[in-house]
Amino acid sequence: GQQLNQSPQSMFIQEGEDVSMNCTSSSIFNTWLWYKQDPGEGPVLLIALYKAGELTSNGRLTAQFGITRKDSFLNISASIPSDVGIYFCAGRLSGGSNYKLTFGKGTLLTVNP
Amino acid sequence: EAGVTQFPSHSVIEKGQTVTLRCDPISGHDNLYWYRRVMGKEIKFLLHFVKESKQDESGMPNNRFLAERTGGTYSTLKVQPAELEDSGVYFCASSFREGDYTFGSGTRLTVV
């Protein structure tokens, strides 16, 4: 089946630093999504990307949909303690009734104040 | 509006026992999904309901798992009999249309 390779697995950074994480796939996706999961909660959508090459920002977050449609990255600028959590990338093949998401294994982010 | 609600939040059962997880989607959301995350692995798709019909159950691990959504409202996911490898966090999500997923907080299942 489809798999997403997400890296890094974990990051330990100081408050104020920038963070970058990415996902690659051997398969093409039509939509890339980035989620954040806080402890004890479910994943919450941060950014959705729908077109190859698309660059989208949401506050301090910036994400891009790779030209080949097989990769995406997420950048967080000027990290703060509340950025701590697990970040997941997810891909979706659109069309018909296929709403299924394929997730990466997640990046655990720790921010030291 | 109320979010996606899952019960229980935690469950610890012995191998061989039965457990039933429940998900109440956001009112009006026809699409309901179950996903599972085993420790350290990716979140994996289990199945997708459209109203009361199973649209896609290709991710269900085996016949020990049974999902239902009678009446097209809440859904249950039963594991019978539970095995050690079934441990993980089970997430439910709902959407009105493609892409607008809202996830519940999950049920952490531990099989001992």
State pLDDT tens for residues A5-62: 999 999 999 999 999 999 999 989 999 999 999 999 999 999 999 999 999 999 999 9
CB contacts < 8 A (A, B): 59
Sign, CA torsion B39/B43/B46/B48: positive
Of A42, A92, A101, the CB nearest to B104: A42
Q: Which residue has the higher pLDDT, B98 or B91?
A: B91
Mutation test of the interface with chain A: which of B24, B26, B31, B42, choosing the one with the most A Cβ atoms within 10 A? B42
Which residues of chain A lie closer than 8 angstroms to B5, CB-CB? none
pLDDT higher than 70, residue B1: no
* Six-digit token string for A30: 């039509």
Residue labelled with tokens 């539970």: B82
Q: How far is CA A8 from CA A5, A22, A24, A112, in A?
A: 9, 8, 12, 18
Which residues of chain A lie closer than 8 angstroms to B93, CB-CB? 42
Mean pLDDT of B79-100: 92
| Nearest chain B CA: its distance from A105 CA (Å) | 4
Confidence of residue A96 (pLDDT cuts 50, 70, 90): low
Q: What phi and psi, each to the nearest 5 degrees, are found at residue B85?
A: -75, -5
Mean pLDDT of B67-88: 96
pLDDT of B40 reads 84
pLDDT of B99 reads 65
Q: Which residue has the higher pLDDT, B59 or A99?
A: B59
